[in-house]
Chain A
Amino acid sequence: MNKHVDVLIIGGGNAALCAAMTAAEAGAKVFILESAPKAYRGGNSRHTRNFRCMHSEPLSVLVDSYSEEEYFADLMKVTDGKTDEHLARLAIRSSEECLPWMQEHGVRFQPSLSGTLSLARTNAFFMGGGKSLVNAYYRTAQKLGVEVLYDAPVSHVEVNGDAVTWVDYEHKGQTQRVHPKAVIVASGGFQADTDWLARAWGPAAKNFLIRGTPYNRGVVLADLLEQGVQSVGDPTQCHAVAIDGRAPKFDGGIVTRLDCVPFSVVVNKDAQRFYDEGEDVWPKRYAIWGRLVAAQPDQVGYVVIDAKSLELFMPSVFPPIKADSIEELATKMGLPADKLRETVDNFNAACGDDKNFHPTELDGVSTTGISPAKTNWARPINQAPYYGYSLRTGVTFTYLGLKVDENAQCSNSNGPIKNLWAAGETMAGSILGQGYLAGYGMTIGTVFGRIAGREAAKHAK
């Protein structure tokens, strides 16, 4: 088959589309291979909701200002310094010009959502969420002449010395081959391949839930790493948070989050507490709880709250399990009833004066004399009805990826591969060594998608 392609883009999410539009605007003939069917196009971008953006004055829906230094400091805090400063600052600095570019390409923003006021200054929310961004980009890309094929997973990218020579993909049960002048990999991480995840993390990973698309299976990533393309990021690590244990195995997205942990006691399947539930506000702790739950037997936790806390957090997607006594709740959740009674009694006895209780700030209302202590929001669990949720580890993304330079270009031991670039989640490990900052994934995808599109189009000319 002699299909003429200047720039082939593997993947169909935010980074892929930003690259496609940029390359098409530079005059390249662009072809997108999206492994998902049309209904599931867009990878994890479908589940995103905002874009973290530097700005020196109010910009679109963003209030006040957010400087490069503050943005970088926020990033360093969550990654504990494991950050490539040069690339991180490049992404941050470019984010400001990205926002108007996104609007020109069809994205619409809305003010920060109810319950997310803390992000009104730093994160621009997409009207309708990430899928509406993806929809708008597909419309714009198609207007620019970009060709898109759905249900077309790439099976092999042939790297020969310092260049990609061809790409194979499956479509309608047949293998097709293209010989593009340039290739951009924007096909995400490998978290949806639970076997790979179990090999990397250990067998416990089989019990993890995958918060995003089932199509990020890392096929292209593995294929390129096997051929000696340079990798980055800890291959054993993934970003995970604690979510509603009843969430679907894949694709549960935002709604499966549970914000009630700070007002609860959390026990494992033996009805034992294992960590300070009130250590910090939830947005700063849900990632830690993803790991904590992963370390418990069967990788499951159980949250118990009482009637007075029910309306202190965002509503959950599934209604909580409800009971008139702790014993009944334990039975309904499959926990040993006497053990849970004992744990709750001990906890209640350790609670003291709670008249300074304040649900939205660190109130210092803590327990005394138990281990682990609860250091904020410690109020006794004693007001029926009681409510329970199960907690499981939900994987957001993996860190292992393709190492890129400031031009989003990939390399192998011989140096840069002259026609291979990467953008988005698949190279985010080049910037983020650990942790995560809300909305930064979309910043990396947009900035490096545009860079990759520009460079690939330049090469293809």
Chain B
Amino acid sequence: MQSETIQKDLQVTAHLDEARRQLDICNACRYCEGYCSVFPAVHSSRSFATGDLNQLANLCHNCRGCYYACQYTAPHEFQINLPKALAEVRQDSWEEFAFPQAAARMFQRSGVVLAIATVIGLALLIGALKWLGSAGGEGFYASLSHNMMVAIFAPAFLFPLFSLGVSVKRYWQATGGGSVRTKDIVDALQSVFQMKNLAGGHGDGCNFEDEDRFTRARQMAHQLIMYGFLLCFAATSVGTLMHYFFNMPAPYPLFSLPKLLGVPGGIMLTFGTVWMASLKLKADKELGDVSAWGGEMAFILLLGFVAFSGLLLYVLGTTALMPSMLAIHLGAVLAFFLLTPYSKMAHGFYRLASLVRDAKRKNDLQQQ
């Protein structure tokens, strides 16, 4: 164990040194300044401490524009591959800031382990249905009582939130965040909602699935996933409110808020994840952290599976398949929630933090 930790530390240091070496070259060149938020942040500094590197790595959205534009990529002796160097630092940072760290080390990179965790989630839910059963509710609750669902899902939702809170706080401290203005947050959210950092600076998008060709495919697939997820999340939140405050338990008809939000959300999420997975298959693995590819892909598929099983559950809600579908869907949701701080899902939180940090840097400059 001891030597494993030392080896891990050595690898983290090697990744930081490599990123620093490349950024010194970028800082003397500056040709990529217009592509994204990373380069203006790089050019505002002459040397890069570990916290700076973590910030730059999380600010990088891996659009790869800089790689294909670079006159110093291999076979040139400078061997620039900034998307990869920053992806490696980014991946290390997520494992470093996670709470507990061991969980992130287990799930971030391995698709197999993530798949096993999902199967365990499914098994638990099927077991719960089989052994706990219902206390005589209706609809879905005929299979698993509402109270039992809450007993399982409340902790499974709250713990990841707590864990992510710890991680973001660690991130903020490491990158020297300090106090935040409302404007910093508004600027960062604007960047997220438009996915500016995947637009290439000129709006033509990024270089992902077809070498140096600019397309908006990845930007759009990402936004389908993000907005689909937010709609599904809103549907669940609205459902919870309706249940507790308006005494309107599920299932809900099509023309109800939870369904009007959830069904389009589920469709967007399903299509978005399939699209993203297909783009990822075409993209050059060597421009990212190769060791994390499996974990990332498994996460996309899990997210897609959550959405697709949710849609199926809606379609099959009145048939005899419902109880099995319910177990499968809730099991996937359970795995997804619990893995959120330790899977690619965590990137959203770090990314948002880095965008707030960068907005703060820019707004600080403007105030001077």
Q: Chain A interface (Cβ within 8 Å of chain B)?
A: 39-40, 46-47, 49, 108, 110-111, 113-115, 125-132, 135, 139, 248, 251, 253-257, 311, 314-319
Bound-state CA distance A64–B287 (Å) is: 40
Which of B28, B32, B66 lies at the interface centre, i.e. has the most chain A CB atoms within 10 A of its CB?
Answer: B28
* Per-residue contact bits, chain B 205-228, to A (CB 8 Å; 1 contact, 0 not): 000000011000000000000000
With known contacts A114-B43, A128-B35, A315–B69 Cβ distance under 8 A = no
* A135:B69 contact, CB within 8 angstroms: yes
Bound-state CA distance A47–B213 (Å) is: 20
- By a CB distance below 8 angstroms, the chain B residues around A251 are 71, 76
B289 at the interface (CB under 8 A from A): no
B24 at the interface (CB under 8 A from A): yes
Given contacts A110-B201, A311-B46, 14 further A-B contacts (CB under 8 A): A39-B74, A108-B204, A114-B40, A125-B34, A127-B34, A127-B200, A127-B202, A128-B66, A129-B29, A248-B77, A251-B71, A254-B28, A315-B24, A315-B46
With known contacts A110-B201, A248-B77, A135–B25 Cβ distance under 8 A = no
Closest to A257 in B: B28
* B68:A135 contact, CB within 8 angstroms: yes
- By a CB distance below 8 angstroms, the chain B residues around A128 are 31-32, 34-35, 65-66, 68-69
* A135:B212 contact, CB within 8 angstroms: yes
B27 at the interface (CB under 8 A from A): yes
- By a CB distance below 8 angstroms, the chain B residues around A131 are 68-71
Bound-state CA distance A130–B72 (Å) is: 12
With known contacts A128-B32, A254-B29, A311-B46, A317–B212 Cβ distance under 8 A = no
- By a CB distance below 8 angstroms, the chain A residues around B29 are 129, 253-255, 317
Shortest CB-to-CB span from A342 to chain B, Å, is 32
- By a CB distance below 8 angstroms, the chain B residues around A256 are 28
B96 at the interface (CB under 8 A from A): no
- By a CB distance below 8 angstroms, the chain A residues around B73 are 39
* B30:A114 contact, CB within 8 angstroms: yes
Partner of B24, one of A125, A127, A135, A319: A319
- Main secondary structure on B side of the interface with A: loop
* B33:A114 contact, CB within 8 angstroms: yes
Interface size on B, residues (CB 8 A): 32
Shortest CB-to-CB span from B349 to chain A, Å, is 30
With known contacts A254-B29, A311-B46, A314-B28, A130–B202 Cβ distance under 8 A = no
Partner of B201, one of A127, A130, A135: A127
* B30:A115 contact, CB within 8 angstroms: yes
Closest to B204 in A: A108
Bound-state CA distance A79–B202 (Å) is: 35
A-B contact count (CB 8 A): 91
Shortest CB-to-CB span from A188 to chain B, Å, is 15
Shortest CB-to-CB span from A346 to chain B, Å, is 31
Closest to A255 in B: B28
B253 at the interface (CB under 8 A from A): no
With known contacts A108-B204, A114-B40, A255-B25, A127–B35 Cβ distance under 8 A = yes
- By a CB distance below 8 angstroms, the chain A residues around B70 are 129, 131
Partner of A129, one of B25, B40, B69: B69
* Per-residue contact bits, chain B 41-82, to A (CB 8 Å; 1 contact, 0 not): 001001000000000000000000110111111111100000
* B34:A110 contact, CB within 8 angstroms: yes
- By a CB distance below 8 angstroms, the chain A residues around B25 are 255, 317
* A129:B32 contact, CB within 8 angstroms: yes
Bound-state CA distance A125–B32 (Å) is: 10
* B27:A315 contact, CB within 8 angstroms: yes
* A132:B69 contact, CB within 8 angstroms: yes
- By a CB distance below 8 angstroms, the chain B residues around A115 are 30, 43
* B202:A108 contact, CB within 8 angstroms: yes
Bound-state CA distance A251–B79 (Å) is: 13
Closest to A127 in B: B34
Closest to A46 in B: B71
Closest to B33 in A: A113
- By a CB distance below 8 angstroms, the chain B residues around A255 are 25, 28-29, 72
Which of B24, B33, B68, B212 lies at the interface centre, i.e. has the most chain A CB atoms within 10 A of its CB?
Answer: B33
* A39:B75 contact, CB within 8 angstroms: yes
- By a CB distance below 8 angstroms, the chain B residues around A114 are 30, 33, 40, 43
- By a CB distance below 8 angstroms, the chain A residues around B34 are 110-111, 125, 127-128
- By a CB distance below 8 angstroms, the chain B residues around A248 are 77
Bound-state CA distance A255–B77 (Å) is: 13
- By a CB distance below 8 angstroms, the chain A residues around B204 are 108
Closest to B31 in A: A129
* B68:A132 contact, CB within 8 angstroms: yes
- By a CB distance below 8 angstroms, the chain B residues around A46 are 71
- By a CB distance below 8 angstroms, the chain B residues around A39 are 73-75
Closest to A49 in B: B31
Shortest CB-to-CB span from A40 to chain B, Å, is 8
Shortest CB-to-CB span from A390 to chain B, Å, is 16
- By a CB distance below 8 angstroms, the chain A residues around B71 are 46-47, 129-131, 251, 253
With known contacts A127-B201, A131-B70, A110–B33 Cβ distance under 8 A = yes
Bound-state CA distance A24–B181 (Å) is: 55
Shortest CB-to-CB span from A216 to chain B, Å, is 15
- By a CB distance below 8 angstroms, the chain A residues around B46 are 311, 315
- By a CB distance below 8 angstroms, the chain B residues around A318 are 24
* Per-residue contact bits, chain B 113-148, to A (CB 8 Å; 1 contact, 0 not): 000000000000000000000000000000000000
Bound-state CA distance A270–B264 (Å) is: 77
In the complex, 10 of the A-B residue pairs with CB atoms within 8 angstroms, ordered by the A residue number, are: A126-B31, A127-B201, A131-B70, A131-B71, A132-B65, A135-B68, A139-B212, A254-B29, A314-B28, A315-B28
Shortest CB-to-CB span from A162 to chain B, Å, is 40
- By a CB distance below 8 angstroms, the chain A residues around B74 are 39
Closest to B207 in A: A135
Closest to B69 in A: A128
- Give the 8 A-B CB pairs with smallest separation, nearest first: A128-B69, A110-B34, A129-B31, A132-B69, A255-B28, A108-B202, A317-B28, A135-B212
With known contacts A47-B71, A311-B46, A254–B31 Cβ distance under 8 A = yes
Closest to A212 in B: B71
- By a CB distance below 8 angstroms, the chain B residues around A49 are 31
- By a CB distance below 8 angstroms, the chain A residues around B68 are 128, 131-132, 135
Closest to B67 in A: A128
Bound-state CA distance A110–B35 (Å) is: 9
- By a CB distance below 8 angstroms, the chain B residues around A47 are 71
Closest to A45 in B: B71
Closest to A114 in B: B43
Bound-state CA distance A115–B76 (Å) is: 25
- By a CB distance below 8 angstroms, the chain A residues around B213 are 139
Closest to B26 in A: A255
Which of A111, A127, A139 lies at the interface centre, i.e. has the most chain B CB atoms within 10 A of its CB?
Answer: A127
